[in-house]
A and B are shown apart, each in its own frame.
Chain A
Amino acid sequence: MRLLPATLLCLAPLLWAAPKPADWVPVRWPWSDAKSLELLAGTPVNCLLLKSPTREFLAAAAERGVVTLTVVGPGESVPETKGDGIVLEGDFPSLPQVSDLVIQLTPRYKMKLGSDAPVIGTYQGVWPGISADDGGAKHSLPTSSAWIDTNTGFLRAVRAFGTAPVWLANRPPEKTVVSTARYLQVIAEAEISGARWVIAFDDDLAARLAKREEGALGAWKRMTALVGYYESHPEWREMRENGRLAVVQDPAKGGLLSGGILDMIAVKHTPVRPVAGSRLSADALAGATMAVNIEGDALTPEQKQVLRDFTRSGGMLLNGPPGWKDPTPPAGQITLDKSDLERLNDMWRDVNSLIGRRNMGVRLYNVASMLSNYLGSADGKSAVVHLLNYSDYPVESVTLHYVANFSRATLITPEGKQQKLEVYKTEEGWGVDIDRVVVCATIKLEQ
């Protein structure tokens, strides 16, 4: 213990140079040997979440300019050797008193939405991917279209409430060897939603990485390259959902659940803009042409007036069924239960009918296995459309139709491609064709 002050003093200059929490690129680090830090060489990872770190390890990490955070769960005491801060992960009946920098990874229902916390995060997330049903088989009807389990709706709802960086810290499913493609999907899913996934290895990958197996190193390289792709475009994180369909919802209720109305709309590839009910304003609806008010009774008279003004200025409004209460997620639950889902389906049918085949900003074709996000810059001069493919196969011949007057389009991919796309006129605006998407791609639109 006598060495601790001296160690901290030595580290102080490095800590001053450490990145801000908003720039932390986090990984759950399962190793305690300093040599494991070699894996970080050439990667954008700069923040490690650790259990019981040693002083030697913390010093080595600091030397590399890597932020170290010690994870503490409910019932665990805060260790003396803890690096640059503490991560309180779990459902704490009461928070321990600590003076260090604290990041909280809470259950979704306890997330401090809209707070000025350095990072808001949760350990609860669905493991994204194309949903299997029917005993593991995919849907078996001519009409079947894939349902994608996703956190994107939830992440958008959280972002609608504030500007704090959002961490999604769910872990891979237990006793499962996760393919590289699935890792890339979970990373990209958070990134295209303006959040970060706290990288966590399944046991198999962790063991193979520890042995520096070639295949595992290849997977790690691809994962970090993908993270680097998004980190090299910080401007994308600043952009906001740009769709012409606004969904007014209390993020602390239905918005915190996966599989809700936002995800239903996302699977239909309709660009949607979540608006927190408590932040409903004319500005929040600027540019929107349609709005869905999920729980009408929850709005104040002033907020209701905003919606009335919206319709008077030509906007279309769909109200939730009378008496509908957006479900408040109980502790531990992150998806809708069956009865809520059935009730929500009724509303979804109305929303679907309202949207029809309107282009709500962008319209994508041949993207059944994909999700997308349409984000715009504050000045309206540029926008991006993120594409994420959840299938095990590349998707070829994707078409994007958009309505805003962007004359230039560039396809950007994590593989390093920057290709100018031919922009052509369509009935409703403009269009571009994308030859192939492996896991993800971004179309940058500019005036």
Chain B
Amino acid sequence: MTRREWLALISATPLLNAAPDAPAAPVAISKCATYDEDVTGKLSTMFDQLGGIQRLVRNKTVTIKLNMTGAPSNKLQGMAPGRTHYNHPKVVGAVAYLLGKAGAKRIRFTESPWAWTGPLEDVMLDSGWNVRQLLSAAPGVEFENTNALCKRKKYARFKFPGTAYMYPEYVLNEAYEETDVFVSLAKLKQHADCGVTLSLKNCFGCVPASIYGDDAGIDEPNENPKSGRLAVVHQARRQPSKIAPPELHPGTSNTAGVRVSRVVADLAVVRPIHLAVIDGVESMAGGEGPWIRGVRPVTPGVLIAGMNPVCTDAVSTAVMGFNPRAAKGEAPFYRNADNTLTLAEAHGVGTTDLKRIEVRGVPIEQAMYRFVG
């Protein structure tokens, strides 16, 4: 992208709906052409550019929400999922190492894997990850499946402080409450329903299928869910299990791009993200997983991190060649997708205004990798 094109992009950004008081925070970008490069060193530099992470994590329990969407058996062109739509294990290990080095007392990796309530380690092994290496990356590494109660005895309630878009309260695995620091470790990807899936959208995976899944119990959660989460949140075909309150405005929309984007924006409020790390070394374009028709592998060659998820996602969206403030119907928010970033911004989580976000390390125009066109 030329400087002229870049200026045109950010100037064209409509700010009419922007929340002027939404906080801004710096975002660090590093180029990283392959996973064979010094991923740890680059992330370390980026964390330093953000002011360091020691104050954030020292002696704290840190929960890292991973991105392992879809079954690990579902691969694009036979490639390891970490090279296309999952986090790459090298990035995961590097983040754990750096958090441990910064003094985190416990590092808990979480995910709600597709139709699975067994150990998260099994899914990691099925994805070709070396669990033993991850365990040795830092002291106090542990893994938790959050697709149901799993290891826990009760769920945690996350009440929205004010007026939520979708649900007045979200009921999640307790791991998301019993933590001092919450990290969203995402992939740089488009999303068929929501436009992009970055650090904000990654946290949709915190929502347990036991309560919000297609086969969730009506009265009680189904602690052995075997399906995904289309019926409740995406398609409004039913309400969650009664342990969680129903949606605020039933019948308003049954469009996934409208509903999921709002849930994601709500989640960014009830379960704040302290650190967003986005793996864009290798990824896929055209959707969030191999099951989306027309997806293709891409190599953006970037790592992005920030302390504010909206700012981090806004910069990441720009790095993908999109306008982070684009309206519904504009790239990348096709298929009636509402812009999750601006929805979260309106909640006051963070700004999407690139003019207010300081980018440290590699400038956006130099890191840009167009996902479309």
Indicate with 1 or 0, residue by residue over B149-180, a CB within 8 angstroms of chain A CB atoms. 00000000000000000000000000000000
**Chain A residues closer than 8 Å to B291, beta-carbon distance:** 139-142, 144
- For B, the interface residue count at a CB cutoff of 8 angstroms equals 27
Chain A nearest CB, measured from B124 CB (Å): 9
CB nearest neighbor in B for A365: B125
Binds B, one of A288-296, A305-313, A391-399: A391-399
Q: Is A345 positioned at the interface, with any CB of B under 8 Å from its CB?
A: no
| Measured CA separation A412–B122 after assembly (Å) | 25
Chain A nearest CB, measured from B343 CB (Å): 24
**Chain A residues closer than 8 Å to B79, beta-carbon distance:** 393
| Measured CA separation A145–B73 after assembly (Å) | 5
Among B292-343, those with CB < 8 Å from A are 293
Known: A396-B128, A397-B130. A142 touches B74 (CB 8 A): yes
Report yes or no: A391 in contact with B78, Cβ–Cβ below 8 A: yes
Report yes or no: A397 in contact with B129, Cβ–Cβ below 8 A: yes
Q: Is A92 positioned at the interface, with any CB of B under 8 Å from its CB?
A: no
Q: Is B132 positioned at the interface, with any CB of A under 8 Å from its CB?
A: yes
Report yes or no: A143 in contact with B122, Cβ–Cβ below 8 A: no
Known: A140-B293, A142-B291, A143-B115. A399 touches B125 (CB 8 A): yes
Indicate with 1 or 0, residue by residue over B111-127, a CB within 8 angstroms of chain A CB atoms. 00011001000100111
Q: Is B70 positioned at the interface, with any CB of A under 8 Å from its CB?
A: yes
Indicate with 1 or 0, residue by residue over A64-87, a CB within 8 angstroms of chain B CB atoms. 000000000000000000000000
**Chain B residues closer than 8 Å to A394, beta-carbon distance:** 78
CB nearest neighbor in A for B124: A365
Report yes or no: B70 in contact with A146, Cβ–Cβ below 8 A: no
Indicate with 1 or 0, residue by residue over B92-121, a CB within 8 angstroms of chain A CB atoms. 000000000000000000000011001000
Report yes or no: B70 in contact with A142, Cβ–Cβ below 8 A: yes
**Chain B residues closer than 8 Å to A399, beta-carbon distance:** 125
Q: Is B75 positioned at the interface, with any CB of A under 8 Å from its CB?
A: yes
Which of B122, B132, B228 has a CB less than 8 Å from the CB of A357?
B122
| Measured CA separation A393–B83 after assembly (Å) | 14
Listed residue (B122, B125, B132, B291) with the most chain A CB atoms within 10 angstroms of its CB: B125
Report yes or no: A393 in contact with B77, Cβ–Cβ below 8 A: yes
Q: Is B289 positioned at the interface, with any CB of A under 8 Å from its CB?
A: yes
Report yes or no: B77 in contact with A368, Cβ–Cβ below 8 A: no
Indicate with 1 or 0, residue by residue over A130-146, a CB within 8 angstroms of chain B CB atoms. 00000000011111111
Report yes or no: B130 in contact with A368, Cβ–Cβ below 8 A: no
Q: Is B80 positioned at the interface, with any CB of A under 8 Å from its CB?
A: yes
Chain A nearest CB, measured from B232 CB (Å): 16
Which of A144, A365, A392, A424 has a CB less than 8 Å from the CB of B74?
A144
Among B176-231, those with CB < 8 Å from A are 227-228
**Chain B residues closer than 8 Å to A357, beta-carbon distance:** 118, 122
Which of A368, A393, A398, A424 has a CB less than 8 Å from the CB of B73?
A368
**Chain B residues closer than 8 Å to A396, beta-carbon distance:** 80, 128
Report yes or no: A142 in contact with B69, Cβ–Cβ below 8 A: yes
Q: Is B72 positioned at the interface, with any CB of A under 8 Å from its CB?
A: yes
Chain B nearest CB, measured from A137 CB (Å): 8
| Measured CA separation A391–B78 after assembly (Å) | 7
Known: A366-B72, A396-B80. A142 touches B130 (CB 8 A): no
Report yes or no: B72 in contact with A143, Cβ–Cβ below 8 A: no
- The main secondary structure of chain A at its interface with chain B is loop
Report yes or no: A366 in contact with B126, Cβ–Cβ below 8 A: yes
Known: A366-B127, A366-B128. A143 touches B71 (CB 8 A): yes
| Measured CA separation A214–B115 after assembly (Å) | 48
Q: Is A369 positioned at the interface, with any CB of B under 8 Å from its CB?
A: yes
| Measured CA separation A140–B295 after assembly (Å) | 12
Report yes or no: B70 in contact with A143, Cβ–Cβ below 8 A: yes
**Chain B residues closer than 8 Å to A392, beta-carbon distance:** 78
CB nearest neighbor in A for B115: A143
| Measured CA separation A396–B72 after assembly (Å) | 13
**Chain B residues closer than 8 Å to A366, beta-carbon distance:** 72, 125-128
**Chain A residues closer than 8 Å to B227, beta-carbon distance:** 143
**Chain B residues closer than 8 Å to A433, beta-carbon distance:** 130
Chain B nearest CB, measured from A2 CB (Å): 62
Known: A366-B72, A396-B80. A142 touches B125 (CB 8 A): no
Known: A141-B291, A366-B125. A424 touches B118 (CB 8 A): no
Indicate with 1 or 0, residue by residue over A40-66, a CB within 8 angstroms of chain B CB atoms. 000000000000000000000000000
| Measured CA separation A140–B76 after assembly (Å) | 11
Chain A nearest CB, measured from B202 CB (Å): 15
CB nearest neighbor in B for A141: B291
Among A161-204, those with CB < 8 Å from B are none
CB nearest neighbor in B for A367: B126
| Measured CA separation A57–B182 after assembly (Å) | 76
Listed residue (A142, A146, A365, A396) with the most chain B CB atoms within 10 angstroms of its CB: A142
Known: A366-B127, A368-B72. A142 touches B78 (CB 8 A): no
Report yes or no: A365 in contact with B126, Cβ–Cβ below 8 A: yes
Chain A nearest CB, measured from B224 CB (Å): 9
**Chain A residues closer than 8 Å to B130, beta-carbon distance:** 397, 433
**Chain A residues closer than 8 Å to B114, beta-carbon distance:** 142-143
**Chain B residues closer than 8 Å to A144, beta-carbon distance:** 71, 73-74, 291
CB nearest neighbor in B for A393: B78
Listed residue (A365, A391, A395) with the most chain B CB atoms within 10 angstroms of its CB: A365
Among A142-161, those with CB < 8 Å from B are 142-146
| Measured CA separation A366–B289 after assembly (Å) | 17
| Measured CA separation A144–B114 after assembly (Å) | 10
CB nearest neighbor in A for B289: A142
15 A-B residue contacts at CB 8 Å?
A139-B291, A140-B293, A142-B289, A143-B70, A143-B74, A143-B227, A143-B228, A144-B74, A365-B125, A366-B125, A366-B126, A368-B75, A395-B128, A396-B80, A397-B80
On B, residues with C-beta under 8 Å from A are: 69-75, 77-80, 114-115, 118, 122, 125-130, 132, 227-228, 289, 291, 293
On A, residues with C-beta under 8 Å from B are: 139-146, 357, 365-366, 368-369, 391-399, 424, 433
Give 10 nearest A-B pairs by CB, closest first. Answer: A393-B78, A368-B73, A397-B128, A365-B125, A142-B70, A145-B73, A366-B128, A399-B125, A140-B291, A365-B126
